[in-house]
Amino acid sequence: MSSWLRRIASSYDMHSYELLEHGLGQRELSDPELDLDPPRDLLEELAKRTGLDQHRVIAMTMAGWVPWLVDSLSPAPGAYETYVHQLSVLLPPKRRNIYAPQKWVPWLSVTGARRGCPDCLASSPAILLFWQLPLMASCLVHGRRLETYEGHPPDFSLWATPAHDQRPLPESLSLMDRRTWQAITTGFVDLPRYPVHASIWFRLLRTILDELTTAQGRYGRQLDDVRRVWEHCGHPFRAGLYSWQPFETLHWPVQQQLLEAAAAAMELIEAGALTALGTSAYLLRPEPDPRISDGTPRGPLTATAQEKRTLDELWKQATDALEVCIAAAKVNPVVAQPLYDFARYGCRSEESVRSLRQTFAELQIPLDFLSQTENQ
């Protein structure tokens, strides 16, 4: 909105504050005010004068993205838990429920960095609302990183990205940004399992960012998984953070590292290379092969046919099958009981049985689905 008004004003040889005051009967409004939640009568007036649909006008502000991208623009109690803790991907649910900032709105960066694509801005002075949010790190048109600048294009801009932040764009980050862009422009994202609504995608992404920075002590058996994610993207563990902070308060170089780690985590989950015990991780995995064998071997069971399956493929098949089983066990006692019986084979002490039941509870498989004998 601030960029659009600046361009309209400049076509009349005016500054945008002059246009606001003398042309639209408003007081002077700052760029953040214009981009966040400007007065509704201004939006109505702009729609009327420009002949644009009101929805298109309001979509140039954050207010136009409630409730898809944010539940509300005013910080409400419990907002963090509702937005970030409802889903889980890398860690079992509820593992992260220790931190929740007060007065928090998702994606609203408090550092106020200005970002843009130098190639886009070389041909047009239009600044996108979504460039200003720490939600995407690249321009899809030019396949390059967004960079920080100072000043107001086109009159004045100074590219201020340090050289070490101009590293090549990893393919996983580019894919994640394509999905975010699809969410913004179409309202849906094609995930490996099935398309999800944009609001699910934004919360899924914010959940992974939270999981990647949660206190090390909360990782439990998933510590190795999380370490592998950070190694895979080549940044220090937990982006080098010593104490927990919400993503929105971090500086852009750290936020970029976290976005890269989230993209790496998604890539590893999609490839079946991470355990990812969260309840929403299945969305990132491809649909398991629905064909059910009647027991007849598909081909001659020769040694050669067996050797063709790599360990990775077999492991992926096993984790896919487990995923389907867990999903079914959550709603069906007939599946929950044999799954429990199978997992219980390895339990040799009361302690390990208790821990197994704890795992079932964390996976949201109702414990009263399990046999009464066991409960006694």
Query: Minimum distance between the CB of residue 225 and Zn ion, rounded to whole angstroms?
Result: 34
Instruction: Give DSSP secondary structure letters for 58-124.
Output: HTTSGGGGTTTT-S-SS--TTHHIIIIIS--SSS-TTTTTT---SS--TT--SS--EEE-HHHHHH-
**d(Cα 82, Cα 68) in Å, to the nearest integer?**
13
Nearer to Zn ion, 142 or 309 (CB): 142
d(CA 76, CA 41): 25
Q: Which is nearer to Zn ion, 69 or 117 (CB)?
A: 117
Query: CB of 174: closest distance to Zn ion in angstroms?
Result: 13
Alpha-carbon span 131 to 109, nearest angstrom: 12
Q: What are the residues whose beta carbons fall under 8 Å from the beta carbon of 324, sequence distance 6 or more?
A: 288
> Around Cβ 241, how many Cβ atoms within 10 Å?
15
Q: Which residues contact 325 (CB under 8 A, 6 or more apart)?
A: 335, 339
In whole angstroms, how close is the CB of 147 to Zn ion at the nearest point? 10
Sign of the Cα torsion 145, 148, 154, 156 reads: negative
Could you tell me the smallest distance in angstroms from the CB atom of residue 1 to Zn ion?
20
Smallest gap from residue 67 Cβ to Zn ion (A): 29
Residue 299 to residue 292: CA distance in whole angstroms: 15
Give least dist CB 222 to Zn ion, A. Answer: 37
Q: Which residue lies nearer to Zn ion by CB, 252 or 369? A: 252
Q: Which is nearer to Zn ion, 177 or 267 (CB)?
A: 177
State the minimum distance, in angstroms, from the CB of residue 123 to Zn ion.
Answer: 9
- Number of residues assigned to the chain: 376
Contacts of 62 (CB under 8 A, 6+ apart): 35, 36, 37, 69, 70, 73, 108, 129
- Where do contacts with Zn ion occur on this chain (CB under 5 A)? 117, 119-120, 139, 141-142
Backbone angles phi, psi at 221, to 5 degrees: -70, -10
Nearer to Zn ion, 178 or 218 (CB): 178
The residue (of 131 and 282) whose beta carbon lies closer to Zn ion is 131
DSSP-assigned states of every residue in 47-72: HHHHT--HHHHHTTSGGGGTTTT-S-
Considering the complex, what minimum distance in angstroms separates the CB of residue 128 from Zn ion?
Answer: 10
Cα distances (angstroms) measured from residue 26 to each of 4, 22, 43, 73, 241: 16, 8, 11, 22, 43
* H/E element, 139: strand 138-139
CA distances from 365 to 15, 175, 195 (A): 60, 33, 25
Least CB distance to Zn ion at residue 114 (A):
15
Measured from the CB of residue 117, what is the shortest distance to Zn ion in angstroms?
Answer: 3
* Gap between the Cα atoms of 321 and 335, Å rounded: 13
Residue 179 or 206: which CB sits closer to Zn ion?
A: 179
Q: Please, which residue, 139 or 191, has the CB nearer to Zn ion?
A: 139
Comparison of 165 and 323: residue with beta carbon closer to Zn ion? 165
CB-wise, 120 or 176, nearer to Zn ion? 120
